[in-house]
Amino acid sequence: MNKTIPNASKTILDNGLRLICEEIPAVRSVCLGILIGTGSGNEEKSESGLSHFIEHMSFRGTSKRSAYDIAHALDTVGGKINAFTSKEVTVFYCVVLDQHVPIAIDILSDILLNSLYDEKFLTLEKQVVLEEIKMYEDTPNEQVHDFFDEKILRGHPIGRPTIGLAKTVSSFKRSNILEFQKKWYQPNNAIVSIAGATSPDIIKQLSQAFGRWQGQTSLPPLQLPEIKGSLNLRQKKTEQVHLCLGVKGVSQVDGERYTYAVLDNILGGSMSSHLFQEIREKRGLAYSIYSTSSPFRNFGVAYVYAGTSKDNMAQVVDLILSEFRRLKKNGITAAELERAKEFIKGTLVLGLESTSSRMSWLAKSEFYHNRVTTVDDIFAKVDKVTQEDILHIADKFFRDEYLTLAVIGDMKKLPIKSLSCN
């Protein structure tokens, strides 16, 4: 039986806040989330990490609840509360059983509207985040992704790490939080998303909780980065060399986004992909090797990650570039095209089986597209992709002018002098 997934309704309150709701009768849980349309990509250089720090401080207490009260209220009903910050959004969310939705609404609205950001907790939470930064710096396989973004985006705020820098985090004051919130945390820049076993009066409950939130913000125009290729090394004592090699990519709203998704899947998006087979299975040069893309609101980047030995790094880079050339010249077979399409469709649907993933989909769909994108919408776009489309997009993005290599490892200089996929 075919049905629309997700099948959601949209309500806009008088204050400009968007409510996106999907009832899923077959489940007993509900996930409620609040998306704020700001992340590390909206920060000034001196504010690096402030969005993430605000996320942390929001759990430190409100005018009604202490930090313990917030945690205890959800623990008591078997629910969970969490948040995450990305380059473009900050999301707070709760997952509870259907009968405990009023508790989730009360706590999330309290955190959003009544957080104190008490001075006495600032120093303590800075210590927590500084330890998180140290942990991040001890994981070069994560750090190299931000290093790649930093170099290919050449100073654009999205190229800075979401977690921030020790120097900037140490400098934050309560006034910085309040000023940032005044600029970005306004109802016309937020989305409340809820999915699961909701009650018929859920819109009324949400309106009562969030309708009193007042304020407006004028969103600044989006910046476009200057994307140019480069070779980059960050020396660090590691057992492996960690590298990202990539190019300019598609944005969230690019008409060719799903064409690139098909290409990406064939390149390195699965265990049967070209790179996984050539570099890991046939040659044993890497344990972890994959391709991925980062589509942002008005631009994107795409890259291959690999962890390999210092001695094998140059060969791995050469093999990646060879795959770029191969795709530009030969494209993909009809069989590969069909397999990639089915892979994308399958993983998409399987990834929407939980209420939390459904909540996130609704919120991000509204944020990027101003509407709820359905599975059928995506399927239709994926099914339209042709072999000729793949050749076109490979030629469009796999260009020498965009090729950027970011490497973290125990070496004094790169064994590679230049990059080419022509």
Angle among Cα 320, 418, 315 to the nearest 5 degrees reads 35
Amino acid at position 272, single letter: S
Q: Quick one: 259 exposed, middle or buried, by C-beta within 10 A (0-12, 13-18, 19+)? A: buried
Task: Estimate the share of the chain in helix, then strand, then coil, as percent rounded to the nearest 5.
Answer: 50, 20, 35
Q: Quick one: 135 exposed, middle or buried, by C-beta within 10 A (0-12, 13-18, 19+)? A: exposed
Structure tokens at 80: 């969970």
Cβ contact 206:42 at 8 Å: no
Structure tokens at 137: 């710096």
Taking alpha carbons only, the member of 60, 37, 178, 184 closest to residue 126 is 60
Please enumerate in sequence order all residues whose Cβ is within 8 A of that of 122, keeping only pairs 6 or more positions apart, or say none.
57, 172, 173, 174
The size of the chain, in residues, is 422
Helices 334-350 and 387-397: angle between axes, nearest 10 degrees: 80
**Catalytic residue IDs:** 55
Q: Which residue has the tokens 């939470």?
A: 125
Distance (Å, whole) CA 374 – CA 6: 6
Q: Quick one: 352 exposed, middle or buried, by C-beta within 10 A (0-12, 13-18, 19+)? A: middle
Distance (Å, whole) CA 100 – CA 27: 14
Torsions phi, psi for 302 (to 5 deg): -140, 145
Helices 334-350 and 257-268: angle between axes, nearest 10 degrees: 100
Distance (Å, whole) CA 415 – CA 366: 45
Cβ contact 6:26 at 8 Å: no
Structure tokens at 97: 């059983």
Distance (Å, whole) CA 250 – CA 397: 9
Q: Which residue has the tokens 């770029």?
A: 324
